[in-house]
Structure 1
């Protein structure tokens, strides 16, 4: 219940902002109050904003009522800077406008685009943005700029500070400023003249203070995000340049970033990487120092050097992608992952030779080998990016994974690193590991911590104080190199920077935010124990997800990420429910369970695409299926069993129903039926399924046709969907998929075999996805036996015409059957028998979740490029959200997941996928007729002359 000024705020803000975007309930405030850090605050109000106007309204009102606000983008930040116990402003995933300059030298970005999305936009021009954090697939531009997040290659030369062109800002009082617009700056001079004078005064004082100036220059020669960007005070004369560069790394404590314009950087395509194993960490660090000095002297070209100590290698040595020999290394071996990029392949070869020569003097335990193979070096970097979450996968349940982020001057790197390892031993953090951007002297060290025990908290405090003294005092390094100060290091800024610099930072904060309303407690915090307060627990909830560290890498892939909850948020809520139940607080747990039903269960597509983005493969879709199974009543279970046992009759009933609906459609027409169906759905409060003109008609297939006895045989199992659902009223193709597939297989010279009693067969997915595990297994086992018999125990390949069914079969069957879905079957079998001729017309493809999880996305693109000269692959569509039948029962999930599809496919003439149900939603949201890729293959091929 809101009280006092918060109730006043809610009453007033809900007049100008849609109430559906304002949350005060327990579930949403908890879910959005969680970021990737080990701190937690629960906001009283959460507001999802789509526009700068909404942010302006919020800030105006909050300033008037003197209520604090915190800005949050993706919530991948690790130091506690994206949480609040007051008002949390979340930049929704629709706050994503962008503009590329005509010369491609600049890109303007709104805050909700991820770094990877920005790079996808620029890829066509061989450009990218400078910052490259490991979380770039998830981290949003607003957070990347506000934290001055860097990464593996950008160092300090291409980070947000160095590549900033201009900004659009909203200040605490609602004032807006565009630093690229002279009119906007003139207006700001009139309204904020005293502000600019004081800012200039602070800058001049800093420049005149030789000791302070020297300290700033020294500290920003290495990575540093501890405190404010004081280098802005000495790097620039223009007050607007000083102002906007202070915003970089300010973590939402000075202003809101409405838009940032970056200078783009070259994205060199010729790359090579090497994973080099040194005898120990000292030898590796000495190699890093030599590489750094040689690069600075322009003697070699090296773009990134990432260190992984033996503990880090051990955490990922069981990854199937890692070579077996790593397991045999002794406890001292340390790896460097080195990348070099060039303007041409010839130049790259030269650079590789120079690097090999430079590294010859160092003792390595394996031969140095640089690879130019994209798949190979991509795998190296994927492993490196997954090191932090990988620790979470092996930690004890209930403990927290902590990642610290320091930087040392390069000349003391080896000595400082050895001492850091000694601190691990001193404080008994025996599992701690070190990795990071060694070329910049920037190391992350990771360890696990139990915050539920007071003695453990004291141990953590003692350890952190030793780290602070070692890094900041003894070696004059940075306590935060790229992860931001947050709450984590706010108590230690004065220790690192000294009193004079810290006073300057406080003056900056007071100037921008005199009432201390913007993200209070972050960066400037006089509480010397701030790092020990509001610690987040990670209680056990379900072994399917207990290893989650709430990093948020999963969120961009989730079809419900802008509608209800994300995978991370579902896990957060389930953890809280389990905690409450364990504590005996059953009534409150029931409140969460009631709220979770729609947001957590009903609108989860259970597509499991989140597992493909998760570094430790956590599958929140499996959690959803588990929870759905728990809710099944005995009556519902009996009905599901009856359906499974009478599947042939069930499908016939579905055919009759679809034929009836299509007959009504023909009589009434699209607009009339749409209106009637919508009215009935509203009356039923959503219990009646949605009707769409793309609803297929009911069909029967004919498997009795003449064919020759041929040497090449294939078992064709048409999915129950494709045995029952045909073309829709807007279809642009002439044949049903079954008939088309038969024709295509015959063209390729295959004799087709069908499993016996096919009318009753099903892969089991319609049951298991809803939690009916037993019924799903019955159907799966039944199908497996039928396919074994038809394929002569696996002698013949088996084709299924829907990817989701194929994925289910592969996952469930324990036999040696070789089962194909359309993409892989086409590439492995059809390409051998058919000659492809590309059409000169644009097509678009949609890779289903199942295909993505089977590793077929790139293969689908390859196949599509064999068929057309122009292939459009929508970048902002992952799972379509149709989820079997959920597109009919919860169409808002499909709507949300495909909200960008129409714009991204507007140039396409034809559209293809590999799942009938997905194609229904895709067609509706694009106004294209999506069909199986087999239609296109048939169109562009003819039989080869063998």
Structure 2
């Protein structure tokens, strides 16, 4: 534990804010993953100089640094034992919108950025399902994409330039060239060795058609000879382990003039998925989503009014955003070539509901029981589209044999399958089974030469499987990339690589004691965050519905009545004005009632 005198001295040196109280550290100890690490302190930098001073302070005190924006990481990359660098208070500005680009700071919510781009007739196509909550810095760090990748590509395809502060505290800007020279020779040497390594190039060429975000963007060595471009694309998917982002420049494209139209169909034959996707790709679809039979069962139970047939093997949602009238006629005509259950769903109101359900399938898994939670440690696998049916069959069998319920769905156009097993979370009963699940799931994925992550990035729950995915030769090059940018491993250690030899179930936040039906369903997805007046007033950061919930849990379960921080902690909880916006947002998701949970606590109804 750091001496208070050292922290007080550091506080005087920066313009931003420093949080050291134990209850603040508790708030930042979790993200949306299964992991928990209580940090030493939290820094909310106001300037780039603050970040540089934080790096100096971290080095002097042998602390590591974890960057954080929305805190919605599913792989444990927004938590750490050292310093949490929270950008949400001061690095939340859109800096410039040009005719075909946008320059932004990292803590801008994806949907907010889209809204500003729309005013200029532009948009950023790779839209993650969590766009209402996730932030651009995290999207770049995880190489995010969403359903639009089937037509427009991943966020990597839109990277133009990036400014970051490296592990030495130096500013690097790939647009101006500032700070690039120090990495140029080492990267060029590495690039030549990779390109001349026939075995490695054979692996990369073979895997070009698998959308991958499991590790560093090693494909960039083959695609970019310019060092500035290479560095920018290496930052994509680096999960905060190579540099600290301060400015990001992305390509923006003209917004389609027609309003996108979606239809849904129910397939009776899972093995028609490949041909179906080939057909809608030929027609220029802008999204194609798959919801597997097991997820349809969950959706049917939660939303019976949707009329989902029991015979369907999968539901596929298809979206078109140009030449719509002509394309829909051709699409409808092509449906006779497939075995469908019932008629295509065309009603716009119903389709809006289907899209909402699809985007909320992960939180919906919280509805299985009063003591279970979805396990998000194997959530983001990918294979070639042709292998989707076989992988789904394998996954169904794995979870049937384990007697574990699961939700299976994903961006079928790019081969992404999201996997959300439901485990007992109120006891330690299922902690050890986390490894068994991962072993079996990844064994199935590797059978099809697939990947452990397609858009959620690498992280603590994947690092122990990274070498198996890529092989020793490629893995060696990945380690070298880290060595070039951060040889002392102070930037988000033990996330990309399992350097501390952790087991996948080490440092998990399970078991979790339920404190009532109002708070238990909360998945910390942060979908309600931007509607919270307290969050907006506080300039984001540490305040908001999920933070209030976690503070109440900490107050009830861990804090003694003589704790000196009680008054300040309870004052913070009461910055919630009980407006109920969080409850309203969650009505169509999992039904958490965090406003009512806060009310119950104030009335003394929440007890251990």
1:325 equivalent to 2:307? Answer yes
CA distance in structure 1 between the partners assigned to 2:462 and 2:360 by the alignment: 24
How many residues of Structure 1 are paired with residues of Structure 2 in the alignment? Answer: 597
Question: 1:353 aligns to what?
Answer: 329
Describe how 1:844-859 pairs up with structure 2 within 5 A: none
Q: Specify which of 420, 440, 444 is matched with residue 395 of structure 2.
A: 420
Q: For residues 229 and 587 of structure 1, do their structure 2 counterparts lie closer, same or farther at Cα, with a shift above 3 Å needed? A: same
Report SS of the residue matched to 1:36: coil
Q: Specify which of 320, 326, 338 is matched with residue 318 of structure 2.
A: 338
Describe how 1:37-436 pairs up with structure 2 within 5 A: 37-103=33-99, 105-155=100-150, 157-182=152-177, 184=178, 188-189=180-181, 192=182, 195-268=183-256, 269-280=258-269, 282-283=270-271, 286-287=272-273, 289-294=274-279, 299-319=282-302, 323-326=305-308, 329-330=310-311, 333-342=313-322, 347-371=323-347, 373=348, 375-397=349-371, 399-402=373-376, 404-429=379-404, 431-436=405-410
Pairwise CA distance, 1:568: 0.4
Gaps in structure 1 of 5+ consecutive residues: 632-946
Maintained 8 Å contact 2:306/2:350: no
Per-residue Cα deviation, 1:215-268 (whole angstroms, up to 9, x for no partner): 123324222111111111111101111111111100000001101111012332
Pairwise CA distance, 1:302: 1.1
CA distance in structure 2 between the partners assigned to 1:3 and 1:108 by the alignment: 37
1:608 equivalent to 2:580? Answer yes
CA distance in structure 2 between the partners assigned to 1:266 and 1:486 by the alignment: 34
Maintained 8 Å contact 2:277/2:412: no
Pairwise CA distance, 1:405: 0.9
Q: Specify which of 387, 408, 414 is matched with residue 440 of structure 1.
A: 414
CA distance in structure 2 between the partners assigned to 1:233 and 1:9 by the alignment: 42
Report SS of the residue matched to 1:560: helix
Q: For residues 362 and 542 of structure 1, do their structure 2 counterparts lie closer, same or farther at Cα, with a shift above 3 Å needed? A: same
Maintained 8 Å contact 1:93/1:113: no
Per-residue Cα deviation, 1:834-861 (whole angstroms, up to 9, x for no partner): xxxxxxxxxxxxxxxxxxxxxxxxxxxx
Per-residue Cα deviation, 1:493-550 (whole angstroms, up to 9, x for no partner): 0000000111111111111111110000011114554311110133212221111122
Maintained 8 Å contact 2:142/2:239: yes
Report SS of the residue matched to 2:571: helix
> Which structure: larger Rg?
1
Maintained 8 Å contact 1:450/1:456: yes
Q: For residues 218 and 155 of structure 1, do their structure 2 counterparts lie closer, same or farther at Cα, with a shift above 3 Å needed? A: farther
Pairwise CA distance, 1:454: 5.3
Larger RCO: Structure 1 or Structure 2 (Cα < 8 Å, ≥ 6 residues apart)? 2
Maintained 8 Å contact 1:395/1:448: no
Maintained 8 Å contact 1:309/1:435: yes
Pairwise CA distance, 1:179: 1.3
Q: For residues 30 and 155 of structure 1, do their structure 2 counterparts lie closer, same or farther at Cα, with a shift above 3 Å needed? A: farther
Per-residue Cα deviation, 1:892-912 (whole angstroms, up to 9, x for no partner): xxxxxxxxxxxxxxxxxxxxx
Q: Specify which of 521, 527, 534 is matched with residue 547 of structure 1.
A: 521
Report SS of the residue matched to 2:578: coil
CA distance in structure 2 between the partners assigned to 1:421 and 1:61 by the alignment: 50
Q: Of Structure 1 and Structure 2, which has the larger fraction of its residues in helix?
A: 1
Per-residue Cα deviation, 1:543-566 (whole angstroms, up to 9, x for no partner): 211111222222221112262621
Q: For residues 567 and 435 of structure 1, do their structure 2 counterparts lie closer, same or farther at Cα, with a shift above 3 Å needed? A: same
TM-score normalised by structure 2 residue count:
0.93
Maintained 8 Å contact 1:278/1:334: yes
CA distance in structure 2 between the partners assigned to 1:390 and 1:539 by the alignment: 20
Question: 2:550 aligns to what?
Answer: 572
Pairwise CA distance, 1:424: 1.0
Per-residue Cα deviation, 1:85-129 (whole angstroms, up to 9, x for no partner): 1111001233122244442x0000101111001100011233211
CA distance in structure 1 between the partners assigned to 2:91 and 2:306 by the alignment: 45
Per-residue Cα deviation, 1:448-505 (whole angstroms, up to 9, x for no partner): 2235655522322122111111112x11001111111110100000000000111111
Maintained 8 Å contact 2:152/2:286: no
CA distance in structure 2 between the partners assigned to 1:51 and 1:530 by the alignment: 37
CA distance in structure 2 between the partners assigned to 1:204 and 1:49 by the alignment: 38
Report the aligned-residue RMSD: 2.3
Describe how 1:671-682 pairs up with structure 2 within 5 A: none
Gaps in structure 2 of 5+ consecutive residues: none
Maintained 8 Å contact 2:426/2:513: no
Maintained 8 Å contact 1:35/1:83: yes
TM-score normalised by structure 1 residue count:
0.60
Question: 1:599 aligns to what?
Answer: 572
Maintained 8 Å contact 1:307/1:336: yes
Is the deviation greater in 396-405 or in 137-146?
396-405
CA distance in structure 2 between the partners assigned to 1:357 and 1:216 by the alignment: 39
CA distance in structure 1 between the partners assigned to 2:58 and 2:509 by the alignment: 27
Q: For residues 609 and 197 of structure 1, do their structure 2 counterparts lie closer, same or farther at Cα, with a shift above 3 Å needed? A: same
Per-residue Cα deviation, 1:644-690 (whole angstroms, up to 9, x for no partner): xxxxxxxxxxxxxxxxxxxxxxxxxxxxxxxxxxxxxxxxxxxxxxx
